[in-house]
Amino acid sequence: MRTREGTTPWPAEIVERYRTAGLWQGRTLGDAFAEAAHVHADRIALVDDAVSLTYAEVHDRVEACAARLIDRGLAPDDRVVVQLPNHWTFVVLTLACLRVGIVPVMALPAHREHELRHLVSASEAVALVTPDSLRGFDHLALARTLRASSPTVRDLIVLGDTTPQPDTVSLTALCAPSDEATRTRRLPTPDAADVAVFLLSGGTTGLPKLIARTHDDYLCNIVLTSPPSAVDRDTVYLVTLPMGHNFPLACPGILGTLLAGGTVVPLGSPRPERAFAAIERHGITHTAAVPAVVASWLDHAAVEGFDALRSLRVLQVGGARLADELAERVVRGFPGTLQQVFGMAEGLINVTRLDDPIEVVVGTQGRPVSSFDELRVVDETTGLEVAAGEPGVLLTRGPYTPRGYYDAPEANARSFTPDGFYITGDIVRQRPDGNLVVEGRSKDMINRGGENISAEEVENLVYGLASVRLAAAVAMPHGTLGETVCLFAVLHDGCELDLAAVRAHFDTSGVAAFKRPDHLVTVEELPLTKVGKIDKKALRERLADELTASE
C-alpha cells in the first residue's frame, strides 16, 4: 500500500487555507535541511564524544547515506523501523530517509519484541535499524528473530562495534562520508504532502498506533515551535530524551536546531552526573526533559550546585504534569528560563512563552503555538463545550495535527470526531489568558514519568498469568515519577501471586520494562460500575485513601 493511502487527508479547502497562510510551505524536510546546510556550511551541526561534524559534513554524509540506502534496494515510501540510542548516526540516518522519502518509524530504545513486532507488521517495514546490544539486551538477536518471522523485513541495519556480520549492514558504514559511487547516484525526492515520518501514539487501547506526519505538517510543527523557544544559530541543544520522540525530535528539538544553524548534542542518558557534565562541556543553551528527570537534576544540584548549568537559557519540561512545587524550584534554581511544554505526537503543542510572568510559567502548561490551532474543551459525557474556564476533555485540530491514525479505522472512530478533532483524552482548564492547565486524563492511561502506558495493555499481559482471574491497572500517585503502575488482581481459588512473579512474566513476554507493574494488590473482588465495568475511579480513590492514611 502507498503510505499516503492509510492516512486521513485534511479537507481540500483547509489544505488551501494552510498553504495560503504559509503554514504549509510545499517544501520537504530534506530540502529544508539542505538549505540550512548551505547557509551554515562551516558551523558545527552535530557533536558527541566521538564526532564533531559541520553542516557541510553532515549534509555530505546524509546524501551519501541516502544513496547507499537506495543502492541497497530501499525505495521511496518504504518504511524502516528505527530503534536507536541517542547517537549521531540517528541524525544522519533520519535526515537521509527524509531526503529520499524513506519513512522512519520511530521506535523507542525501551521497546521489546511485543512492541517491535507490532510496529514492523503495522508499518510493513522492509528494514530494522537497531544497536547490536544495549544495556545488556541483545537487540541484534531480537532483530534476527523479527526478520525471520516477518514477510517484509529484508535488511538489518546495525549500530555497534562488533565485526560486520554477513547478514547485517553496518550503520556507521552507511553514515560514512561520500565516495565516488555515492556522489554519482541520482536521488529521488519526495513530495511535501507525502508522509515524512511515523511517530507513535502513547496508545490507550493496547499497542502504540502509528501517526503519519507529512513533510508539510511536520515542517510547520518545527517552524511554529522554534521562535517561542528562541532557537537560533547560537543554540546548543542537548538531547537526553529518546531522539525518536516528538518532543526532542521536532518541538523544536533536533530538527528545529538543525534548521536554525545551531548544534545538536546527543547524550545516551539523562542521569544528572552525565547531563551536567555535558551541559558544562558543550555550553548547552537548550534542552528538554520530563518532570521525573528534572526532579533528579534538582536533587543533584542541591548537592553540587547549579554552576555547571550556567550556559543554559531554556529548559523545556513536558511529557507529564510538572508539579507546581517542582516548577517553583526550577525557577528559583536553574539558570535560564523554564518553559512548560504540553505536547503530543498527534500534533498540538502548547508552550509557556519565555517572557511570560512567573505565575504563568509555574502554574500552567502554556498555550498553542499557532493561532490556527483550534481547541475545544468539552464535557466528558455530553460532548458539549463546557463553560469558559471549566475543566473538560481537550479536543483539537490544526495545521500540524493529523486527522486520523495510520490505517486504523476503529481507533479513529474512537479518537477523532467526525469533523476531524483529535480527542486528546486530557482534562484541561483554559484560563481567560488562553493558557491551559492540565488537570488529569479521561483516557485509561498511566503516565509513568512521561512514559504513557495503556492500562488495557498491562491488563492483557497480566491475563497471561494462569493464576489471575481479574485484573485492573491504575495509576498510583508518586512523588517524582508522577504516577506508577498499580495492579489490582483477583486470583483463582487457591492460587498465589507476588509482584516479582508479575514482573518476571512481563520480562519473558518481551515488553518494554517501564510497563511492569510497580505495585500489586491482590483482592477478593473488584468494584464494578453500574454497567458492570471495573470501577477504576473507586480503585484510584482507594489508593489515594491508603496513601493519605500512610502519610
Binding site for ligand J2J (CB under 6 A): 202, 246-247, 251, 318-321, 340-345, 349, 365, 424, 426, 438, 441, 447, 452
Between 44 and 250, name the residue whose CB sits nearer to ligand J2J: 250
Identify which of residues 182 and 340 has a Cβ nearer to ligand J2J in the complex: 340
CB 109 within 8 A of CB 137: no
Cell 525557577 maps to which residue? 331
Complex with ligand J2J: residue 86 or 170, whichever CB lies closer: 86
Report in angstroms how near the CB of residue 365 gets to ligand J2J at its nearest: 4
Closest distance between ligand J2J and the C-beta of residue 94, in Å? Answer: 16
Residues paired with 395 in a beta bridge: 376, 423
436 versus 486: smaller Cβ distance to ligand J2J: 436
Nearer to ligand J2J, 96 or 344 (CB): 344
Q: What are phi and psi of 440, to 5 degrees?
A: 165, -155
Angle at 109 between CA 104 and CA 110, to 5 degrees: 130
Work out how close the CB of 317 gets to ligand J2J at its nearest, in angstroms, rounded to a whole number. Answer: 7
- Distance from C-alpha of 101 to C-alpha of 275, rounded to nearest angstrom: 34
State which residue, 8 or 152, has the beta carbon closest to ligand J2J: 8
Residue 344 CB, shortest distance to ligand J2J, in Å, is: 4
Residue whose cell numbers read 470501577: 535
**155, β-bridge pairs:** 127
Q: Give the DSSP per-residue string, 124-171.
A: T-SEEEEES-BTTB-HHHHHHHHHHH-SS--EEEEESSSPPPTT-EEH
Taking the complex as a whole, how short is the minimal distance between the CB of residue 483 and ligand J2J, in angstroms? 11
User: Can you point out the beta strands (E) in 1-131?
Assistant: 44-47, 52-54, 79-82, 103-106, 127-131
Nearer of residues 341 and 502 to ligand J2J, judged by Cβ: 341
| Nearer CB in complex with ligand J2J: 70/289 | 289
Sheet holding 374-378, edge to edge: 374-378, 392-397, 422-430, 436-441
Write phi, then psi, for 52 (nearest 5 degrees).
-145, 110
Neighbours of 427 (CB within 10 A): 18
Separation of alpha carbons 543 and 540, rounded Å: 5
Report the residue number, 261 or 449, with the smaller CB distance to ligand J2J. Answer: 449
User: Residue of minimal CB distance from ligand J2J?
Assistant: 343
The CA-CA-CA angle for residues 239, 205, 501, to 5°, reads 80
Which residue lies nearer to ligand J2J by CB, 170 or 337? 337
Pairing of strands 337-344, 347-351: antiparallel
Q: Which long-range contacts (CB under 8 A, 24 or more apart) does 303-310 make?
A: 304/276, 306/333, 306/334, 306/335, 308/276, 308/277, 308/279, 308/280, 309/276, 309/279, 309/280, 309/334, 309/335, 309/336, 310/335
Q: Within 448-498, where are the H helices? A: 455-462
Grid cell at residue 272: 544528572
Long-range pairs for 405-410: beta carbons < 8 A, 24 or more residues apart: 405/201, 405/209, 405/210, 405/211, 406/3, 406/6, 406/7, 406/122, 406/123, 406/198, 406/209, 406/210, 406/211, 406/212, 407/1, 407/6, 407/122, 407/210, 408/209, 408/210
Least distance from C-beta 290 to ligand J2J, angstroms? 8
Contact 421, 374 (CB under 8 A): yes
Rank residues 356 and 426 by Cβ distance to ligand J2J and give the closer one.
426
Q: Of the two residues 153 and 290, which places its CB atom closer to ligand J2J in the complex?
A: 290
Give 101 or 253: the residue with its C-beta nearer to ligand J2J.
253
Phi and psi torsions of 460, nearest 5°: -60, -40
Minimum separation from the CB atom of position 174 to ligand J2J (A): 28
